[in-house]
Amino acid sequence: MNERIIRLAYAGFVATCVVIGFAAVAAFRNISRAEASADWVNHTHATIYALDRVVGSVVAGDGAARLFVLTGRPGELVEARGEFGEMADHLESLTALTRDDAATLAQVRELEALTQRHAESALALAAAREGKDRVALEKLLQTDPGVEVLQEIKRLAARIRAGQFELLDQRDRSAYRQAQTTRWVVGTCVVLDFLLLATLAWLVRDDIAARRRLAATLQEANAVLEARVAERTADLAATNARLKAENHERKWSAQSLEHQLRYNQVIVNATRDLVFVVTKTLAVTRVNPAVMLRTGWTEESILGRPLRDFLPGTEAAEPALRSGRELPDQPARLRLQSGGELTGRFTLLPIRDNDRVVGGVVLVHLDLPPSQS
């Protein structure tokens, strides 16, 4: 080929590289924006999920607390406190997720104040019911703005959720515009590449070797691209498999814990000794069936009362429990519902949570005649 054709071929080759480079840069930028958009979308969905969990916990906790006020069942109070505890955790997550958005964070702060005030009001009702203070309970019920506050919480949560969905909609439209722009840029670059290659092919139509080398180069680039696509696909498949395995492991762990708790309950209920679960102030929070069987007391008449009402002479257990000490094999007198008493021995075992004493278990072994043992 003469010098002119060589120069034109070089110029066409350079122009082709520039177009390909421009298309590659545009594609890379779009991929980066898509990844950032995906992260942002995941963050927004996490915010919406935390918001829904806050509202769900408030509603569930309020329902449990009010059900406790109506029925007096201790399980409802425990459920209410647990739901309000989860509410606080989800509020903390929601605050962390929205800390970079001042407007949303202000709404979250307002939601936090409303939910905490509502939780305190519901727990105050439950506390009055638990303490059997009818005067205080009637006063709280008369001034309780529970329904209005709950409706305000739902309205505020709906505004926050609507704002998040509006952001998602805006991001979706922006992503669509970016995709359209990228398609136009890549399409234009493909057309330009085709024209440049056609011009080069026409200029070097007499040079078959050069065209073959060009075809080999294009095939190699295509193979590399396919290999990268296959590698990326394999990575995504491996990640998906790992996430599925982790999900199964979490489910198995939860089932194992549930089974263990059930077995522990069965063991405690099956023991012949009397089991009292008490707080740090020796208030009874739980008993096994042997207690009702031996004493004649009902579970409702035992729960919430001081241990000394049923085991006189256990006052020394409270300082021992506060200091985290065990009291093994202590003399005990068990007061019966009929007015009589049974003698035996009791053992106090502290219950710890992260090296902190939160309560205790009192095991009572009665000195029964052989006919009753």
Task: Report the percent of the chain where pLDDT is more than 70.
Answer: 85
> Averaged over 282-293, what is the pLDDT?
90
CA distances 195 to 14, 26, 198, Å, are: 14, 20, 5
> Averaged over 21-44, what is the pLDDT?
75
Three-class secondary structure of residue 178 per DSSP: helix
> Averaged over 38-50, what is the pLDDT?
83
Model pLDDT for residues 90-102, shown as the tens digit of each residue? 888 888 888 888 8
pLDDT at position 284: 92
Model pLDDT for residues 240-273, shown as the tens digit of each residue? 888 988 888 788 766 766 766 566 566 666 677 8
Residue with tokens 């034109």: 8
Low-confidence winner among 24-28, 283-287, 303-307, 317-321 (lowest mean pLDDT): 24-28
> Averaged over 140-167, what is the pLDDT?
76
pLDDT at position 36: 67
CA distances 112 to 91, 132, 140, 152, 222, Å, are: 7, 30, 22, 12, 55
Distance CA 210, CA 349 (A): 89
pLDDT at position 285: 92
Closest CA to 361 of 372, 371, 346, 373: 346
- Copy the structure tokens of residue 275: 């089991």
**Residue 221's pLDDT band (cuts 50, 70, 90):** very high
State yes or no: pLDDT of 224 exceeds 90: yes
Three-class secondary structure of residue 360 per DSSP: strand
State yes or no: pLDDT of 147 exceeds 70: no
Closest CA to 59 of 156, 150, 159, 157: 150
Low-confidence winner among 152-156, 189-193, 255-259 (lowest mean pLDDT): 255-259
pLDDT at position 129: 66
Spatial contact of 24 and 185, defined as CB atoms under 8 Å apart:
no
> Averaged over 114-124, what is the pLDDT?
78
> Averaged over 76-89, what is the pLDDT?
84
State yes or no: pLDDT of 70 exceeds 80: no
**Residue 131's pLDDT band (cuts 50, 70, 90):** low
User: How is residue 128 annotated by DSSP?
Assistant: H
Residue with tokens 């009818």: 134
**Residue 30's pLDDT band (cuts 50, 70, 90):** confident
Model pLDDT for residues 264-285, shown as the tens digit of each residue? 566 666 677 889 999 988 899 9
Spatial contact of 370 and 346, defined as CB atoms under 8 Å apart:
no
pLDDT at position 266: 66
Higher pLDDT, 370 or 285: 285
> Averaged over 64-79, what is the pLDDT?
77
Low-confidence winner among 114-123, 216-225, 309-318 (lowest mean pLDDT): 114-123
pLDDT at position 207: 62
State yes or no: pLDDT of 229 exceeds 90: yes
State yes or no: pLDDT of 126 exceeds 80: no
- Provide CB contacts within 8 A for 286, sequence distance 6+: 276, 277, 303
> Averaged over 119-145, what is the pLDDT?
62
Domains and CATH numbers, the chain: 3-206 (1.20.120.1730), 271-366 (3.30.450.20)
